[in-house]
A = this chain, B = another copy of it.
Amino acid sequence: MSKIRVGIVGYGNLGRGVELAIKQNPDTELVAVFTRRRPESINLITKGVPVYSIDSAEEHKDEIDVMILCGGSAKDLPEQGPKFASIFNTVDSFDTHAKIPQYFEAVDTAAKKSGKVSIISVGWDPGMFSILRLYGDCILPEGKGYTFWGKGVSQGHSDAVRRVEGVADAKQYTIPVDSALEAVRKGLNPELTTRQKHIRECFVVAKEGADKAKIESEIKNMPDYFADYDTIVHFISQEELDREHSGMPHGGFVFRTGKTGNNGENSHVVEYSIKLDSNPEFTASILVAYARAAYRLSKEKVSGAKTVFDIPPSYLSPKSSIEIMTEFL
């Protein structure tokens, strides 16, 4: 059986995660990595796979079944998504929630023109969490949904702390508030403010001679990022940061609570949670499963942009219908 030939665009943490996930999925193979850096500067884990300049991607269009786009949502994907959809089947993890409809449109237009399939916003949030939120809404229509993130490292918030004057380095953890989780889990349907849902904890390395009190105050009062939260700031050494906070753990919870019965007399709680040692590797594993789905849809002559909501669960699996039915139903 021929394997699904996968290309990777962008070789950062996510790209490397996709490379590793491909090794766990024997029906897929990595055929090339595309980078904006000098190709010679990239050392893949997989031996014998070529690294090309991103500008040469189109020359390889007949060698690749699905291209997995591993760039960032802020700057890379808005341009790369539609561009690659006009040449390849693609899967990406576009995660700027507010801009998803316009990104979908741009990718859809390109993919319909090229006759390719692009599955956008794949990962765990957006992705698995989105699916669970939708299932919750459908099966308990008279109910309420909750999403909590963490405990885990937020890249965006860590970057924001690093931009504060006097900060040499920093990591920020998003932590769900236990009492809020408990109230939701008990079916109390609480109305929760931003502050009541999550705590933000920062580990900061100050530059020599920097004013720590000023740094702390600037972080805690930063609009959008921290002002609406209870924020804890710890000053530590670069050595401690490197030793204790170099991982990329993450996690989170999706709840749906609702009522049924003639008078809403019966309560139900559905909870989905994840606890991850490596956020990029877990996200990458999901991207590879959806690359399989993109490949199959393309074989069925489907084209255009899709989201995780459009994909039947069976399309993610390398197993046959009868195997799936016997093993999982």
Binding site for B on A (CB under 8 A): 17, 20-21, 24-25, 45, 97, 100-101, 104, 121, 126, 128, 130-135, 137-142, 187, 260-262, 265-278, 281-282, 284-286, 289, 292, 307-314, 316-317, 319, 321-322, 324-329
Contact = CB atoms under 8 A, between A and B. Distances in A.
B313 A134 contact: yes
Question: Quick one: copies of this chain in the complex?
Answer: 2
Contact of A104 (B101, B269, B325): B325
16 contacts: A101-B322, A101-B325, A104-B325, A131-B135, A134-B313, A137-B327, A138-B289, A138-B313, A267-B277, A268-B274, A268-B275, A272-B272, A307-B329, A309-B312, A309-B314, A309-B329
A26 to B, nearest CB: 9
B329 A100 contact: yes
B278 A274 contact: no
Given A139-B289, A262-B45, A329 B274 contact: no
Contacts of A141: 24-25, 285
Given A130-B329, A260-B282, A329-B126, A142 B313 contact: no
B262 A278 contact: no
A208 B185 CA distance: 43
A265 B276 CA distance: 12
Contact of A271 (B273, B312, B317): B273
A118 to B, nearest CB: 14
Given A134-B328, A261-B278, A271-B272, A310 B314 contact: yes
A101 B312 contact: no
B324 A309 contact: yes
Contacts of A324: 134, 309
Contact of A325 (B132, B139, B307, B312): B307
Q: Which 10 A-B pairs have CB atoms at the shortest separation, nearest pair first? A: A266-B277, A309-B314, A260-B281, A138-B316, A266-B278, A138-B289, A133-B328, A269-B275, A134-B328, A130-B329
Given A135-B316, A313-B309, A274 B269 contact: yes
A139 B285 contact: yes
Contacts of A307: 325, 329
Contact of A285 (B140, B274, B325, B328): B140
